[in-house]
Amino acid sequence: MVLKKRITAGLVVLAGAAALVWALSPRPVAVAVSEVKSGPFTETLREEGRTRLRDTWEVSAPIAGFLHRVHLEEGDAVAAGDELFRMEPLPAPGLDARSREQAREHLAAARSRLQGARASLEDLRAEARLAESEYRRHRELFEDGAVSASDLERVETRRDRARSTVEAGESAVEVARSEVEAARVILDIATGERSEEEAESLAVRAPAGGVVLHRHRCCEGTVVAGEPVLELGDPADLEVQVDLLSMDAVRVTPDMRVRLIDWGGDEALEARVRRLRPAGFTRTSALGVDEQRVPVLLEVDAEEARKAGLVVGYHVEAEFLLWEGEDVLQIPTSALFREDGEWAVFVVEEGRAQPRRVEAGRRSDFTTQIREGLEAGERVVTRPGDQVQAGTRVIAD
């Protein structure tokens, strides 16, 4: 009986000791575990971009004048040579009563000068006819030997002078007639209005086919020379501009493949790098940091862009395919951490986390290439926290 009690007490003591040891021993830390895989790997570079047209035509007023109403609207299609809008010279300003009266007096004076010039011309023509008749008589007498050669020359000279004065008189009549016409025009437009028959307009035509992108002016009114009126573009020349950081732009080359994502559709659109601008620019970020960026132009398939509904000024996400591999060892980037200046991971071995140095390679979004230190099939701890140390017991969460 006593022995039985001793055995029971011993068992109770052992159970209590075991419970105490279990309570005081460290429990496994729940962690996220990922398997090291080998498969296709693509290093990408992602940046925002916007659609634009490779070439646009800004049609401006060729002269200072009066613009007629522009009937074209944004989105209207035009062909090369189509009339875009019309212009006409500015109307003359209206004259006040005093100026109109002066214009009438100038017109009357011009008409009087015209009458005087015509009368003078008739006198000159009569003198010219007399000089011509006298010259013919002297020539006949000279042929008969009745007058000398010097007399004939004097008569011929008077005839030539009479002809010249007639020509001068005719010119004076033309000048007077022009003065009358100028005075009449000033008086006719004294009110600042012109008839439709007299108004001359200039038709400005499309330099190339496309659609109207912007209408800067719609209503009639005065414009200055060079003022923009319409902007034209061809939707088939759609491209994408992406402003990359200069440190990223040096890794991009012409003809590189690019995927356009997050543009509003489910599938990515294919594009390629057409050109990198030879100079960068400074842009201030939302955090107030000056960034050196380089414009990169992407060529897209016009038909695919049309089916997708992309037009000028749309937002897209450009994913540059910097490098591609078929059989690449890779792990989640969150599994990496720095240890003594080198990359390392926690490998799960027999339920414990063991640190291991690795050589990290290329990165793509949330995945990193591993060149050395791991093998396919091993398991690593992703996002290890402060509770995970060398030899810590872990359990997959």
CATH code of residue 365? 2.40.30.170
Report field, pTM of the whole predicted structure over 0.75? no
Query: Same structural domain for residues 102 and 48?
Result: no
Q: Alpha-carbon distance 81 to 8, whole Å?
A: 111
Q: Alpha-carbon distance 298 to 304, whole Å?
A: 14
CATH number at residue 72: 2.40.50.100
> How much is the CA Rg of the chain, to the nearest whole Å?
49
- Domain that includes residue 279, residue range: 40-52+235-396
Query: Same structural domain for residues 241 and 330?
Result: yes
pLDDT tens-digit profile, the chain (397 residues): 566 666 666 665 566 555 554 444 566 878 888 899 999 988 888 999 999 998 888 999 998 888 999 999 998 999 999 999 998 887 666 566 777 777 778 878 888 888 888 888 888 888 888 888 888 887 877 777 777 888 778 878 888 888 888 888 888 888 888 888 887 777 766 555 555 555 578 899 999 888 999 999 988 888 998 899 999 998 888 999 999 999 999 999 999 999 999 888 888 899 999 999 999 999 988 888 999 999 999 999 888 888 888 888 899 999 999 888 888 999 999 889 988 889 999 998 888 888 999 999 888 878 899 999 888 989 998 988 788 888 888 887 7
The answer to whether residues 41 and 367 touch, using CB atoms and an 8 Å cutoff, is yes
Query: Same structural domain for residues 156 and 212?
Result: no
Query: Same structural domain for residues 214 and 153?
Result: no
Strands (E), 11-99: 29-35, 37-53, 56-60, 65-67, 77-78, 83-88
Strands (E), 224-314: 228-233, 238-245, 257-261, 269-276, 281-284, 290-300
Query: How many domains does one find in the chain?
Result: 3
Query: Same structural domain for residues 219 and 308?
Result: no
- Residues ≥6 apart with Cβ < 8 Å to 371: 329, 358, 359, 360, 361
Query: Same structural domain for residues 206 and 82?
Result: yes
Q: Alpha-carbon distance 16 to 11, whole Å?
A: 9
Query: Same structural domain for residues 282 and 243?
Result: yes
Nearest residue to 30 (alpha-carbon basis) of 315, 268, 381: 381
Q: Which of these three, 179, 210, 231, is where a domain ends?
A: 231
